[in-house]
Chain A
Amino acid sequence: MSGQLSILVVDENRIRASIIEDGLREAGHENVHVIVGINEVAAQIGQIAPDVVIIDLENPNRDVLEHFFTLSRVLQRPIAMFVDRADPGSIEAAVDAGVSAYVVDGLKKERIKPILDTAISRFRAFSRLRNELASAKSELEDRKTIEKAKSILMRTRGMSEDEAYTLLRKTAMNQNRKIVEIAQSLITAAGLLGG
């Protein structure tokens, strides 16, 4: 085995897979393979002969993957995982980030640790991205809801835009609720009243 370790990334999420792949390449690993569908693993694992396999913990196919390892004897039992059995810190960090990694038994910890660290940080970056996207989306929807409530008030009570917003905000503060919740209630009520 030359200097380069062979790394296999199994992930049904193509975007995350490529984020991890990029991270590993940036860290100087050239021998990185990505497989999206679990059924291709059986066919390719022999050729790839990975030293390290990285899979996301949400993937129900983890059980399938582990079985492939024992069948192909590429990664022999006992499957060493999460870098080092005696390192509960990395194990927790990996699981918290949603990564699971399998390594060939006998590989030195100092060779594997940076790979797992990269995978973990890339998984975290992806989760952050996903959370930001989700919150941006819900912010946009909140804004739309508030706009709609304002226009109902403007139409039915002849208020200006500022007045409508002030009323929503005051009501929210008095009731200790979010503005968007008040806006939603107003929209629902208006719908019921045929407004």
Chain B
Amino acid sequence: MGLTQITVGYVALLDAAVLIAAEEQGFAAAEGLELNLVRETSWANIRDRVAIGHFDAAHMLAPMPLSANLGLTPLDVAMIAPMALGLGGNAVTVSSAVWAEMREHGATGGVDARAAGIALAGVIAERKRNDAPRLKFGVVHPESGHNYELRYWLAASGIVPDRDVEIIIVPPSYQPDALAAGRIDGYCVGEPYNSVGVARGVGRIITTKSSIWRSSPEKVLGTRVEWANRYPERLGALIRAVTRAARWCGDPANHGALARQLSSANRLGVAEPLLMRALTGELLLGDGDVLNVTDFFVPFNHAANFPWQSHALWFYAQMVRWGQARHSAGNVEKARQAYRPDLYRAALKGMGVAVPAANAKIEGALTEPTAVGASGGRLTLGPDGFFDGTQFDPDNVEAYIAAQKSMHHI
């Protein structure tokens, strides 16, 4: 019996796990698919090779489908995210030198975003007084969760990005090297590259994506609108296979096997113990400090694969905030339509997986695990607060953009 071949691109990062497991654990075959997984070297390649049809779907930065639809990419090909590949998984790492300065400004360890922000603001103020050069942070792409969460955290900590710190682009696997060589002073990147930096003794993890914005989106399954329309059965089968794989990846009993698969040279090529840190949430922060970070990386639970349109709109608000996109009612709609909860829901119908009934939620409104309306089973969402206590109402993007703008004139 022949399997239908689907070519899927990915970048060698921990959150490609669900796609890799979908193929290697047989979830794709059970849906009649064979995933031809292609490792790519840059997000630009992922974007272009999906656009020209080399890839049917790909592991994408969560804002990438928005970028495509808002005209920020070289090829105008409409893209969508019919599902997400997990929540969290990133962290901010700084050089040992910056960490030493942060300790002088009250940092005591842990990954609390507020505490880390206060200490870093102290460091930056002192460096300014001493006419020391600006700190430089690396992120993987201008339109990425990393760039936006780093900037959000800095700005809410009273540090103005681009004025007080410089933010540059560095490919994920190059970040530890760049930190070691002193080309950057810190970075915001997905695992395993924070743990790699710590293991090499060049950096200290000071906060996590899950502390800046709990239960926040990171990568999505991206595809062309044209492919989704032409092959709805394949797309449905792919969504189901990847959802089952996500459930498998989220089960602690499988973490060892998953780490082994991902560590192979043709996948991530990073040692298993380093991958286990993010999978279990037992992070080594540096200096031998171990911290169990709840919900550091969530591949499946709490509707982690649901493409919330409120996530898409939050990314849109950040694109406007940092001058990448122009705000208009039409662009809001393009951003919203980049995420397709309807396709996710349709694919999972009758599968017994709980899917939220709503397409969007007020981000930051849940302060504790909360049961919500769902089809297919009972569903509890995790807390989704921003560290500074603000909320994002997807029905009022305008007001949020205006409030963010006023922050920059402090």
Contacts and interface: CB of A to CB of B under 8 A. Distances in A.
Partners in one complex: yes
Interface of A: 39, 57-64, 66-67, 70, 77-82, 85, 88, 91-92, 95, 100, 102
Contacts of A78: 71-74
Interface stretch (B163-171, B215-223, B262-270, B342-350): B163-171
Given A62-B41, A63-B43, 8 more contacts: A39-B183, A60-B171, A60-B173, A63-B169, A64-B170, A66-B169, A77-B72, A100-B48
A64 B171 contact: yes
Contact of A63 (B44, B71, B74, B173): B44
Interface centre among B44, B54, B75, B168 (most CB of A within 10 A): B44
Interface string B152-174: 00000000000000001111011
Nearest to B178: A39
Interface residues of B, number: 25
B148 to A, nearest CB: 15
Contact of B45 (A62, A80, A92): A62
B54 A59 contact: no
B398 interface: no
A102 B48 CA distance: 13
Given A60-B171, A78-B74, A85-B74, A95 B52 contact: yes
B39 to A, nearest CB: 11
A59 B45 CA distance: 9
Contact of A100 (B44, B140, B141, B168): B44
Interface string B125-160: 000000000000000111000000000000000000
Contacts of A59: 41-42
A70 B45 CA distance: 18
Interface of B: 41-45, 48-49, 52, 54, 71-76, 140-142, 168-171, 173-174, 183
B306 to A, nearest CB: 28
Nearest to A102: B74
Nearest to B73: A78
Contacts of B73: 78
Contact of A64 (B54, B71, B169): B169
A60 B42 contact: yes
A66 B44 contact: yes
Interface centre among A58, A62, A82, A85 (most CB of B within 10 A): A62
Contact of B74 (A39, A67, A79): A79
A39 B48 CA distance: 24
A112 B171 CA distance: 29
Contacts of A61: 42, 171
B42 A81 contact: no
Contacts of B75: 81-82, 85, 91
A91 B51 CA distance: 10
A62 B42 contact: yes
Nearest to B171: A60
16 contacts: A57-B45, A59-B41, A60-B42, A60-B174, A62-B42, A63-B169, A63-B171, A64-B168, A64-B171, A66-B169, A67-B142, A67-B169, A78-B73, A85-B75, A91-B75, A102-B74
Nearest to B77: A85
B54 A82 contact: no
Contacts of A66: 44, 169
A138 B141 CA distance: 39
Contacts of A92: 52
Contacts of B142: 67, 70
Given A63-B171, A67-B168, A85-B74, A58 B52 contact: no
Contacts of B76: 85
A55 B44 CA distance: 12
A175 B367 CA distance: 68
Contacts of A88: 52
Contacts of A70: 142
B44 A62 contact: yes
Contacts of B41: 57-60, 62
A57 B170 CA distance: 16
B254 to A, nearest CB: 30
Nearest to B75: A85
Nearest to B174: A60
Contacts of B54: 95
A49 B73 CA distance: 22
